[in-house]
Structure 1
Amino acid sequence: MRIDTKAWRIDLSAQSFATFRPGPAAGASVPAWRAEAGRQWHETLRQQTESANDGWQFEVGVACELKSLGWTLAIAGRADQWRETNGNILIREIKTVLGGLPRAPDKLRERYPHHFLQLAVYCHAARIRPEVKSVIGEVVFVDPADGTIQAIALDEMAEQALLSQAEAIAAHAENRRESHARLLALPDRLPFADPRPEWLTAGEELEASTGNPLRLFVAPTGFGKTSSSLRHGLSLLRSGRAGKLMYVTGKGTGQLQVITELRRLATAKELRAVVLRPRSEHELEGMPNDPTDIRRNWSKAGIIPSKLLEQGADLGLVRQLGRMAKVPPWLITKAMVAEADVVICDYNYLFSPAQRPALELLPGWFESDHVLIVDEAHNLPERVAECLSLSANAAGVEDAANELASAQAPRQWIDALLAWSAFLQRLPKADTVDPDDRLEAIGHADRFIVLAAEHPLDIDTLPERAARVAMNTVLWQARLESMDAGWLLWSPEASTLNLDCLTAAKTIGERLQQQAHTLLLTGTPGPRGALAADCGLEPENLVRIDALAPWRHEAYRVAIDGRVDTRYKTREQHHAKTAETLAQLAEAEGPVAAFFPSYKYAESVAAVLKATNPRALIATQPRGLRPDGMSRFLDQSLQPGSILCLIVGGALGEGIDLLGGRIGTAVVIGPALPEVNALQEARRKMFEQAGAEDPFALAYVRPGMRKVNQALGRLVRAPGQSARVLLHCRRFGAETYRAALSPEYGDPEVLVDDESFLSWLRS
């Protein structure tokens, strides 16, 4: 659906017209197997009809215009079956449904009003054709489980339903027009009472670069990238150059910071914003599944998404409302997203094939009218590759089969899942899958595609895990069939099969270029052109804006500790020296932040520290803490002489800004390279085959050093702050690693022995 507020025109498909519902059904999607079942039954009935040789046409293009509330709705679509005889037209729409047929016609009309609306569009378009005498329409329902067919004619109320739907869509468009008008009056506020000159300069440069749809904004941690980019995004909304702002992040913890920054620029009444949290966080026990019941409860409770947005409703309030109204909170949030000016969410909702429909099918969702801001864009290539990848293990599939059996799902699905589980069970741990096993995996995946058409599952009635496994089985077939050099099929563990994406550049580039404006944010862009290539963009098409931060230029004093080797095979030999170094720094400078590449490594060194320094104050970053818990951890642990064992790439190394100005000394224990495994080796070979000068650096050094730069960047976030940093591994002295360090860390000296270390410590 495309809404042109200046021309008062709405262009949309017949399906979009029919399925439009701004309330609890906003953005409802059809699972892949249901679509496949529909396609197969369309083809079956087409063949049957063609064999009768009775003048039928198929997939007939139809278009018409409707007028409502001053708006013009231009609707186009294709009717499944069409026969015209002497000015008399018969139109059929084929629809697959679950739950058994036949049923009372009124029940089907109530349950599937969108099917009759779509047919009504085609009948209306047929009636306005010249020399047409009569038009009859039929919705032909098919139960794919047993092939039962039930045809129901369009009744005399269809035309009125058509006009009512047109009015509802026009009212939605009018709301959008009013929203645009409201955004034109959006105040232009500064988020700080006294912004730094370089922050204001960056804002001016962002405005000056607006003519370029693809931009990269590079600024260090603490500069104010979030507030600067949000203010610029609101400027695009205010000027009418975009209709909605999407702010995507790689970590849920960052989303709360974004909404806080946004509220410094505009209140909830001035700007409708929503944080889209995962569906799992919305789940409540005892929620109804039947759409009719949900619509009734919605209406009874008087839920108005725009009012919730103006109240600044968060997930807690939405869950409370859903519990009282007996409406699934996820449906309330999606309806709010449809009417929001700003949507803050995870990368997945833009890039994951499984989660994209949650947004793309919302009423009026039109990405070429959006401004997209991508936070921590350096993480995007890895995250998108992860969400495109697939994994299955024998135990999980067997559990899903048992859950399907308990839910009385078709026996064919249960047997197929058990056979898939048995196949997975016998797979050994392997860096590559045997060709015969690959062919067998394809055979299982093909079977699931057939089952999806012949015995489609009603996902809404299934347990969550069973539904997730069933949905993934359908994805395997297409991925395995089209697998090329950009994918790795392997078994990281016994009884497990992974299909991992090696590079998501093509997918990322396509999605970014669909937006009206795309702004990538990062403090660690890597070598020039690297991030553009990783995101599937031509470097010359990605305009780069570099923010100045003169207060950081001499804020770091960095040295490389060449006394130790922290590679996996040798690090244990140096645990004592690492522990001694941390103790010396803590005694002289404490508190000290020690960044480790893993919990296991941190815990091993902490054990040596406790054994050699029983009175040492040591605190290890807890696993899985939310932002409030992380803040408490720091408050309790930051004491004179304390040693904080943190994880590179964890919440305190990236995404949560709690260290700036509170830690003056940091030690990075090793360059945090990715684990050497089949997946990383496949990526290295991919770079090698592409002719890269240093494939190892691309596959291992660059992602590891990016995490190091990100962690160090969080130590200095404002003028007057400074940090002493020790890069604790001789590998940091190699040119490949030095080149990957951010320029602001200078040209660190290498400490080759205890004497040079103590001299650096005393200086």
Structure 2
Amino acid sequence: MSDTVIKISVRSLVEFILREGDIDNRKKAGKDTEAMQAGSRIHRKIQRQMGAGYRAEVPLKITVPAEDYEICVEGRADGIEEQDGTVVIDEIKGIYMDLEHLDGPVGVHLAQAKCYAYIYGRQQGLSHIAVRMTYVNLDTEFIKYFESEYEFPELEKWFGGLMEEYRKWADFQFEWRKIRKDSIHNIEFPFPYREGQKELASQVYRTMYQKKRLFIQAPTGVGKTISTVFPAVKAVGEELGDKIFYLTAKTITRTVANEAFSLLREQGLRYKTVIITAKEKMCACEEMECNPDHCPYAKGHYDRVNDAVYALLTKEDNFTREVLNAHAMEYEVCPFEFCLDVSTWCDGIICDYNYVFDPKVYLKRFFAEGIKGDYLFLIDEAHNLVERAREMYSAALIKEDFLEIKKVIKAVRPKVAKELDSCNKRLLSMKRECDTYRLLPDIGDFIIALMRLAAELEKFLEEWEQDEIRDQVFEFYMQVRDFLNIYDRVDENYEIYTEHMENGQFQLKLFCIHTAKNLKEFLDKGNSAVFFSATLLPLRYYVNLLSGDMNDYAVYASSTFRPEQRLLLVGSDVSSKYTRRGQAEYQRMASYIQKTIFHKKGNYLVFFPSYRMMESVYESFQSLNPDPGCICLLQQPNMREQEREEFLSQFTTGLDRTLVGFCVMGGIFSEGIDLKQEQLIGAIIVGTGLPQVCNEREILKQYYDEHQAQREGFSYAYLYPGMNKVLQAAGRVIRTDQDTGVILLLDDRFTQYQYKQLFPPEWAVHEHCTLHTIDQKLEDFWRGQEKY
């Protein structure tokens, strides 16, 4: 990155300037679905088959001067060779499409090759040059060629016109970088530093300066968001990065991140930020049908979107969902695609993890094969990324789906039905050999059959008119495609297994267990990454699964709160173990709740390991005849957004009474909610949070017992994820230095060493209690608060 050089890749240049026409999701099964992993493999295979005079992966670069700066256009030609005295630029495209339906090269693909031809022709002083477009079907490996030859002056004129189109965008970037850099130099940390906060911000900056990765365990109250955003912005000002990606799993934390940037803008920071919201939430239509027949914003979208983007960039700096929607309506473009285009020109991108890490939906403009940028990753609530990554890099197929699609399609396309039957027979064979679940060493035979099926499905989707059958087939096709793409990733970090599911269906799953390698593939596309959370213990577990490099930096930020603000009690005469569950134990838990709320009127949350236990303890609690003024709320399964808001609103109004919320640990109310001061004065956590025993957890346990010298299978599969839920739930109580509250852990296992060693340092001061001793401890604590 340089103040006087604007860089753009050849691919980004042509895709941005030359796009036109409609958004049309009906074409998704064809030329638009290039796959990163499979595409790279087929590239290498074709390149190896070429003659000795064929040069593969040739880097090309050209600098185009402007008035005060230079535009650097760079890329990598797939191949260059000489045939009969003529230089040929070879551009290879691996696509999922029946090539019989491809009558000529895709416009932006050919433009990419022409750029390489111009750059190479200019460098070598050639008078003419040829281009060969090599298309290969990724399933069948069938190849189709399109060749053309150009006189160099023709290419020069064409490339000059392309750069002229791009010039106003380059001018904007150059001017904006100067404005941004000047403004960054003047900003200060927006608050007085809390204890340890300045050192934390310094650690973040130092990590970015050294282009490393940092893991931060930082308790609530440290101010993690501003302590990472501020030094990251400063790092951009010192040219240690160009874009900040603030990644999180929850909407509320995206809002907090946006507020951090806004705080810095109050000091004069000029910094363009965008919040990427899910497509279904941004869609302006009643039904999300992304094609010109159903959506007026899809029709002609690419003809209007560049003007819309430029107009917004020159008007605003903070691109929230509301700003983007309003501007998209004005220009009649798709709000979601418009948002993605705006992100290209932003300095800060606030989004969900999947836009960076998920191979199905990652932002290809930033993270496609061969693209590396000056990116700084801030990964909030990083404890969530372990399970999210397992979902992203795993894939499953259900045997019954093959039979269902066969019923739908057999009358209209017997060839597809035949391939469906072939796959189903192989799945049936696996089913017969599986009792509950079964690990498989290899499924190569099934994959070959699945690739044949995918090829036939592609032909059908290319030819069949839009109707209900096509929609069903398309949805199934995307599941097949996802499975094949994930199979390309399968290695020693995966287990392949079959399973009889509880609903009676039979599934085949590619299960990503150890996530670090897949995550690192995307982390390596940036300069630096900072993982942070209030619950990132033990750090070595998260480092192992999120980066895999035990040399990464790690820091523990001390709590800024006084120990006297909180009473931490462990109930040693109660248990949530399966062997102890029953009416007597539920009655004991209910008595603990009653005693806790008796000593101080206020709001409390009680967290349970399951809905069933929650309901059983609630019934026991009601039988104790609690204070008639006590209000009880129960979390319901699958609560809609409005229902969640109504639940939480009860904690922010009418504080002169006792309110008890019965919730599920690890659910929507156990993390990401911010109830300050009197809005919450106690959390009661029932159980150790251990996930339920199931086939997948047992596969995890077995894998880590076999792959680690310490045989930490139980810890990796159950203990660490469970304690994370406990720590998250407990973290709801003390949110500010004015908060006071009680945290009650109800399970005798919390007295055992393997659990206590996972307590954070600020939990060093805690007490054990029983039903007979808790009253005195609560009375002493609340009386002690009166003097503060």
TM-score (norm 1): 0.83
Q: Give the aligned partner of residue 649 of structure 1.
A: 666
Q: Partner residue of 2:342?
A: 336
Shift of 1:645: 0.7
Q: Which moved more, 1:221-230 or 1:175-184?
A: 175-184
Aligned residue identity for 1:486: Y
Distance 1:431 1:274, change over 3 A: farther
Query: Offset of 1:311 from its aligned partner?
Result: 5.5
Corresponding position of 1:751: 769
| Cα-to-partner distance string for 1:194-244 (whole Å, 9 max, x where unaligned) | 554544454355445654422233321132111221111111122222111
Judged with a 3 Å threshold, the aligned counterparts in structure 2 of structure 1 residues 700 and 22 are, in CA distance, closer, same or farther, namely: farther
> Deviation per CA, 1:18-64, whole angstroms, max 9, x where unpaired?
434497899999424699699979999999x99xxxx9968695846
Give the counterpart of 1:608 among 611, 620, 637.
620
Is it true that 1:177 corresponds to 2:171 in the alignment? no
Q: Quick check: 1:294 aligned with 2:301? A: yes
Partner of 2:492: 484
- Contact in 1 for aligned 2:187/2:269 (Cα 8 Å): no
Match of 1:377 in 2: 382
For 1:500-649, list aligned pairs within 5 A: 500-544=511-555, 546-573=556-583, 574-590=585-601, 591-613=603-625, 615=628, 616-622=630-636, 623-626=638-641, 628-635=645-652, 640-649=657-666
Structure 1 CA distance, aligned partners of 2:685 and 2:765? 16
Query: Conserved in 1, the CA contact under 8 Å of 2:398 and 2:508?
Result: yes
Gap change, CA 1:485 and 1:125, over 3 Å in 2: closer
Note the alpha carbon deviations across 1:123-173, whole angstroms, 9 max, x for none: 56346635x564455668899999987766659865432222234456544
Q: 1:524: how far off?
A: 2.1
Describe how 1:158-197 pairs up with structure 2 within 5 A: 158-169=155-166, 171-187=168-184, 188-189=186-187, 196-197=194-195
What amino acid maps onto 2:320 in structure 1?
A: D
Structure 1 residue identity aligned to 2:318: G
Q: Number of aligned pairs?
A: 742
| CA shift digits 1:328-369 (9 cap, x unpaired) | 2222011111011000111112221112244435899643x1
Which residue of the other structure, out of 729, 735, 738, is the alignment partner of 1:711?
729
> Is contact 1:488–1:502 with CA below 8 Å preserved after alignment?
no
- Structure 2 CA distance for aligned equivalents of residues 65 and 470 of structure 1: 41
Greater Cα offset, 132-141 or 491-500: 132-141
Unaligned runs of 5+ in 2: 781-788
328-337 or 279-288: bigger deviation: 279-288
Moved more, 227-236 or 87-96: 87-96
Q: Distance in 1 between matches of 2:362 and 2:574?
A: 47
Correspondence for 2:257: 258
Cα shift at 1:373 = 0.7
1:244 is matched with 243
Q: Give the SS at the match of 1:634.
A: coil
Aligned residue identity for 2:438: V
Residue identity (%): 17
Q: Distance in 1 between matches of 2:299 and 2:162?
A: 17
Alignment of 1:422-437 (within 5 A): 427=431, 431-433=436-438, 435=440
SS in 1 for 2:247: strand
CA contact 2:358–2:392 (8 Å) conserved in 1? yes
Alignment partner of 2:271: what SS?
A: coil
The residue aligned with 1:725 is 743
In structure 1, the residue matched to 2:270 is 270
Q: Distance in 1 between matches of 2:437 and 2:751?
A: 35
- 1:270 Cα deviation (Å)? 2.0
2:496 pairs with 1:497 = no
Would the aligned equivalents of 1:564 and 1:577 in 2 still touch at CA under 8 Å? yes
Higher mean Cα deviation, 549-558 or 702-711?
549-558
Please list the CA deviations of residues 418-456 of structure 1 after superposition, one character each: whole Å capped at 9, or x if unmatched: 665676689488553375995664344343465588778
SS in 2 for 1:508: helix
Gaps of 5+ in 1: none
- 2:124 maps to 129
1:668 aligns with 2:694: no
Q: Which residue number in structure 1 is paired with residue 398 of structure 2?
A: 393
Q: Which amino acid aligns with 1:605?
A: V
Partners of 1:298 and 1:460 in 2: CA distance: 28
**Does the CA contact (< 8 Å) of 1:338 and 1:365 recur in 2?**
no
Moved more, 694-703 or 261-270: 261-270
Which among 324, 349, 372 is matched to residue 318 of structure 1?
324
| CA deviation after TM superposition for structure 1 residue 658, in Å | 2.1
C-alpha contact 2:274 2:350 (8 A) present in aligned 1: yes
Label 1:125 to 1:354 Cα distance change in 2 as closer, same or farther (>3 A): same
Report the CA distance between 1:275 and its aligned residue: 1.0
CA distance in 1, matches of 2:444, 2:394: 19
Tell me what 1:350 maps to: 356
Give the 3-state SS of the residue equivalent to 2:342 in structure 1: helix
The 2-side partners of 1:418 and 1:115 are apart by 39
Q: 1:729 to 1:361 in 2, by over 3 A?
A: closer
**For residues 611 and 639 of structure 1, do their structure 2 counterparts lie closer, same or farther at Cα, with a shift above 3 Å needed?**
farther
Higher mean alpha-carbon deviation, 320-329 vs 681-690, is at: 320-329
Structure 1: which amino acid aligns with 2:386?
A: P
Distance 1:41 1:513 in 2: 21
Rounded Cα–Cα distance in structure 2 between residues aligned with 1:517 and 1:39:
28
Counterpart AA for 1:607: E
Worse-superposed segment, 29-38 or 312-321: 29-38
Other structure's SS at 1:185 match: helix
Residue identity in the other structure for 1:372: F
Is the contact made by 1:596 and 1:670 (CA closer than 8 Å) also made in structure 2?
yes
Match of 1:112 in 2: 107
* The 10-residue stretch of structure 1 (455-464 or 379-388) with the greater mean CA deviation from structure 2: 455-464
| Alpha-carbon distance between aligned partners in 1 of 2:269 and 2:655, rounded to the nearest angstrom | 40
Question: Does residue 235 of the first structure (1) align with residue 237 of the second (2)?
Answer: no
SS of 1:433's partner is: strand
Change (3 A) 1:35 1:153: farther
User: Could you tell which deviates more after superposition, 688-697 or 242-251?
Assistant: 688-697
Q: Deviations over 1:568-612 (max 9, x none)?
A: 343233112222221232233343321112223212222332344
Contact 1:26 1:331 survives alignment (8 Å): no
State which drifts further: 451-460 or 133-142: 451-460
C-alpha deviation, 1:730, in angstroms: 1.3
Q: For residue 114 of structure 1, report the CA deviation from its aligned partner.
A: 4.2
Q: Secondary structure at the match of 2:324?
A: helix
- 2:753 pairs with one of 716, 731, 735: 735
Cα RMSD after superposing both structures: 4.5
The CA distance in 2 between the partners of 1:668 and 1:23, in whole Å, is 55
Give distance in 2, aligned partners of 1:315 and 1:415: 47
Give the match's secondary structure for 2:175. helix
1:223–1:717: 8 Å Cα contact kept in structure 2?
Answer: no
The CA deviation at 1:248 is 0.5
Partner Cα distance (1:437, 1:364) in 2: 30
1:653·1:710 contact (CA, 8 Å) conserved in 2? Answer: yes
